[in-house]
């Protein structure tokens, strides 16, 4: 039986640092060593963790590690952000990242 950590790692093969998973789990009140069940996988806390991982991946740098390269296209990064935002909205997460509109630059 898989643990919550293994389920979160299974979202993508990108090498997310363990400390990132630990921080996300602590913020959401989840224990990474807990065995997953269908109830846990459908829970609000787990899905918020999943959204946090997707959002983190959308900003992750392109890296090469052990001869293996990991990178995302701009379209993939946008899709990851959109999926995370969709999960936040479905679960009515108050701290979900919001789009910021405004002037940027020196001239109009």
Instruction: Classify residue 108: in a domain, yes or no.
Output: no
pTM to 2 decimal places: 0.82
For range 15-20, the mean pLDDT: 96
Q: For residue 102, what pLDDT is reported?
A: 59
| 62 within some domain | yes
Say if residues 62 and 70 touch (Cβ distance below 8 Å).
Answer: yes
CB atoms within 10 A of CB 32: 18
> 60 is in which domain, residue-wise?
4-90
Residue 22 covered by a domain: yes
What whole-number percentage of the chain has pLDDT above 90? 81
The tokens for 26 are: 């602590």
Torsion of Cα atoms, 69 then 24 then 51 then 96, to 10°: -120
Q: E-strand spans in the chain?
A: 63-65, 68-70
Whether the CA torsion 97, 98, 99, 100 is positive or negative: it is negative
**Gap between the Cα atoms of 44 and 50, Å rounded:** 10
Q: Is residue 49 part of a domain?
A: yes
Position 97 pLDDT exceeds 60: no
């Amino acid at each position: 039986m898989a643990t919550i950590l293994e389920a979160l790692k299974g979202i993508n093969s990108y090498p997310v640092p363990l400390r990132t998973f630990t921080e996300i789990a602590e913020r959401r009140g989840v224990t990474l060593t807990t065995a997953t069940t269908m109830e846990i996988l459908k829970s609000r806390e787990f899905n918020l963790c999943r959204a946090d991982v997707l959002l983190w991946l959308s900003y992750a740098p392109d890296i090469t590690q052990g001869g293996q390269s990991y990178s995302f296209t701009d379209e993939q990064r946008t899709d990851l952000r959109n999926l995370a935002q969709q999960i936040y909205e479905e679960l009515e997460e108050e701290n979900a990242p919001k789009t910021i509109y405004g002037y940027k630059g020196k001239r109009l």
